[in-house]
Structure 1
């Protein structure tokens, strides 16, 4: 901000204009530093965007290098109403024949109907024990490690709903419910889990009969091995039984896991003929990953082309250059990527270049997806996987092309990689530039002060001389 001054009024000398023009010359080095700082800030911003684009490319390449992209992760069934399957890591591609002869079920027993207006079903206790029944229910084998659970039903607990709630809160391994229809209300007990080993038997001790003079809690007693069948069995406990590729399988539930590594088969319905379950790679997912890579690469290629371009002078149009034009780090990275895009590998046999799988390099440095080639390539997933993500331990330059692009991106983005090193260097230069500007501005403040002092003295001297000249002129006049 210019100071208010009266310098020059007495002498007629335009001191302020002289000082301003001289200081503009003195400040030219500061202006040059500011211009250089703006250029470096623009370049630093460009490197930040370049880093983001390369990071996106690396993520797209990582997807194609991920074994799960190429794994046997998609299943289909010739009869999904009977059998379906899901996969996990390590699933093996192939077609599996599935047949189902029994579905897993939970044991269910029910009491006779109590009148709907029953206020009490009696008092006493119920003892529930989990285990497995023999085929004719003549014997019962308790589950190892599981103890029988006794549930006391006292005053206030003897309604159907209260008894149901006490059974469910006991952790006895059964689920109680009340079913009401035109016949009345029944208490129903069902195993919490399916499978032959999750059957149960119930014994009762009655201290008070129900309010209608019925059997009370004895209505829930079920132990055929001892001739007790007051409660009626609606469904027996049963394990799922079937075959997978001719191998007999028995499962406590209808979800049969890891009979074959990484494959879980769901039994839905008993079959009369084999159901074919096919496991293989998700080809649509692979094609999407290839397209995503092309999109990420093209965004990077377009950005680098724009940032490193040089447009010569044409007519009245001045020459122009991108922020990274002539930048050795950016140009080197651009060249390495283009070389990799056009490179080849012997790992994929008949497929050796990106163009073989439908990624055709263009004259402007981009990639064009050829859907026809890509559809043909995914019919040979193993070769396609090798040309993109294969590893040659004896010769890195022969590894899969996407594998090498991922390695280049990792190197560029690493802590001591080209991009971080360049940005660190630019930040350091910007800080030094700011320090130089501060020092130069401090010096210019002193220069301007000395200049003003000198011109103020000159102004004073010239004012005196003007006064003397006027006096002499008057005397001679």
Structure 2
């Protein structure tokens, strides 16, 4: 069967261009579907921007909806190199004079020097317990006690440490102690002498009750190196004495096993850094509340800016933004505005409106903050400001709680924004299906045209061939006559 390699070559007709034009005409419904898809996609993207702006506003509102946030207390040290502090909600406001006379420190003891850290010493079991050294006298030069007593800390259980043949060197003892995690860290210090390698044991906890007592059951060499009882035989030399932090708070003596001193002032934690004096000011943290309210206003204004961008009509280009005339956005804006302008329930003298703390609406729909008025409200009536945004007894009272609930409802299943978004997604899915079906029909129609044009091309080609043949025959007959 004859065939055509290129459409139109047999008939010398521009069938290829004709087919292309027919395909373009048949595809016009697809173009319209694509335009609708672009429109819906733009609207979906706009709803995404709106939801993001709502989320930022909700985060700011939720922070203000928590009554505990308004109970925050700030502790300020006048000498941060001496002491820092943090305060919880239960901290008592006031001014406190702090005098740090001693820092807490961990005990450190050192063994006699060894010529090599790799030479075997002996095997056995080391047991380290902790307690308080009291009484007697202490010679700082030798690092030894005379006539002292040792009272074990009953809250800490001694951990036996096995020194086997694989750990019977100074390095092995160090590794075995560290692996046991017995409240002690071990290291080796080279002091540069003829027997320079010295095992150092340091308590992992500070405080007087973390002094060490070391007993050894095993080889004599191991016992002679490490046996250490502050109330008896002391084979180790104390290089750092265990001690508590000592300070006074308004003249009252305070001791702490740690340099982190908790509850010496109600609800406050002190971290002492060096000896010296400092004044600690503990007061309600109005600065954080002021920042949060300003952030809330900024988030509201950002939402208004987003809404304005999404509903703009460009008169020069005659183009409209994705949500021009959109009822979902308009209804959300109205609901939020109504929420923030409706007075809160309150008794006589209570704050009931945002304007009472310096937050007011402008003609363009945004909000502004009168900083002086806000600072004054926070300084004189922090509890009233708290009730304006939150409530410890009601889930529906306070602008923070109400706005948080409003956004949650709008973006949850059945909410106006969720319904609108789901509707667009459904429409896009339907358009995709319609496009696929229509594309199949267009392709089928174009293939039908192609088949018809191919047949026409073949027919005309044959007719042209026949015409050429007959012309040649007539010409031949004429020449014979």
TM-score by length of structure 2 reads: 0.68
Q: Is the 8 A contact 1:308 1:322 kept in 2?
A: yes
Distance 1:355 1:190 in 2: 62
From 141, 153, 173, give the equivalent of 2:151: 141
From 249, 254, 258, give the equivalent of 2:259: 254
Paired position in structure 2 for 1:402 = 400
Secondary structure, counterpart of 1:238 in structure 2 = coil
Q: Is the 8 A contact 1:93 1:278 kept in 2?
A: no
Evaluate the alpha carbon distance shift between residue 165 and residue 120 of structure 1 in structure 2; reply closer, same or farther with a 3 A threshold. Answer: same
Map 1:364-375; keep pairs closer than 5 Å: 364-375=364-375
Paired position in structure 2 for 1:330 = 329
Deviates more, 1:238-247 or 1:293-302: 238-247
RMSD after superposition: 5.0
Distance 1:336 1:58 in 2: 14
Shift of 1:418: 0.8
Paired position in structure 2 for 1:389 = 390
Q: How many residues align?
A: 430
Evaluate the alpha carbon distance shift between residue 416 and residue 116 of structure 1 in structure 2; reply closer, same or farther with a 3 A threshold. Answer: same
Q: Which runs of 5+ in 1 are unaligned?
A: 210-215, 454-477
Paired position in structure 2 for 1:340 = 339
Secondary structure, counterpart of 1:106 in structure 2 = coil
Shift of 1:311: 7.4
Q: Is the 8 A contact 1:343 1:401 kept in 2?
A: no
Evaluate the alpha carbon distance shift between residue 101 and residue 326 of structure 1 in structure 2; reply closer, same or farther with a 3 A threshold. Answer: same
TM-score by length of structure 1 reads: 0.69
Evaluate the alpha carbon distance shift between residue 424 and residue 179 of structure 1 in structure 2; reply closer, same or farther with a 3 A threshold. Answer: same
Paired position in structure 2 for 1:238 = 243
Secondary structure, counterpart of 1:133 in structure 2 = strand
Distance 1:443 1:117 in 2: 91
1:269-290 Cα offsets, whole Å, 9 max, x none, are: 456x7x5433345444434433
From 181, 189, 194, give the equivalent of 1:178: 189
Paired position in structure 1 for 2:202 = 190
Paired position in structure 2 for 1:40 = 40
Q: Is the 8 A contact 1:124 1:204 kept in 2?
A: no
Shift of 1:422: 0.8
Q: Which runs of 5+ in 2 are unaligned?
A: 1-5, 137-146, 453-481
Q: Is the 8 A contact 1:121 1:217 kept in 2?
A: no
Structure with the larger RCO, 1 or 2 (CA within 8 Å, 6+ apart): 2
From 419, 427, 434, give the equivalent of 2:417: 419
Distance 2:114 2:407 in 1: 77
Map 1:301-312; keep pairs closer than 5 Å: 301-309=304-312
Map 1:67-466; keep pairs closer than 5 Å: 69-72=69-72, 74-87=74-87, 90-95=89-94, 97=96, 98-100=98-100, 102-110=102-110, 114=113, 123=122, 128-136=128-136, 138-144=148-154, 146-147=157-158, 149=160, 152=163, 157=168, 164-169=174-179, 171-176=181-186, 177-178=188-189, 180=191, 185=196, 187-203=199-215, 218=224, 220-226=226-232, 228-242=233-247, 249-258=254-263, 262-270=267-275, 275-309=278-312, 321-345=320-344, 349=349, 351-380=351-380, 381-390=382-391, 393=394, 396=396, 399-433=397-431
1:319-356 Cα offsets, whole Å, 9 max, x none, are: 66443233222211121222234344355957543344
Q: Is the 8 A contact 1:128 1:201 kept in 2?
A: yes
Shift of 1:181: 5.5
